Amino acid sequence: MASDLNRAEESAKELAAENRESRLRSILKAITYRIIGTVATAGVALFVTGETSVALAIGAVEPFAKIIIYYVHERAWQLLPRGYIRRFIHRN
């Protein structure tokens, strides 16, 4: 019985490991997502302004602005203790 349980646990671990995404794949996905997002932002800027130079300038600044915004967002969340939101929602 214990042997069957151990085999089932090992099988589940192997399956999870097979389905897990590698760090390299995650990094490549993040980079391509950021490129697509920046190109889309520059495209919208071009459509709205009609100015290639303005669109390229916005496209150049946008990734850095979003990194800063993301960092500030993360740090703001760090000000809330873990479990605070859940306790806040369920207190009523």
Output the six-digit token pair for 78.
Answer: 């760090």
Element (H, E) at 73: helix 52-78
Q: How far apart are the first and last CA of the chain?
A: 46
Domain ranges (residues) in the chain: 2-90
Backbone φ and ψ for 67, nearest 5 degrees, come out as -65, -45
Sort 29 into a burial class: Cβ within 10 Å, 0-12 / 13-18 / 19+: exposed
Kindly report, residue by residue over 30-85, the tens digit of the pLDDT. 999 999 999 999 999 999 999 999 999 999 999 999 999 999 999 999 998 888 88
Q: Pick the more confident residue, 16 or 66.
A: 66
Kindly report, residue by residue over 19-29, the tens digit of the pLDDT. 788 999 999 99
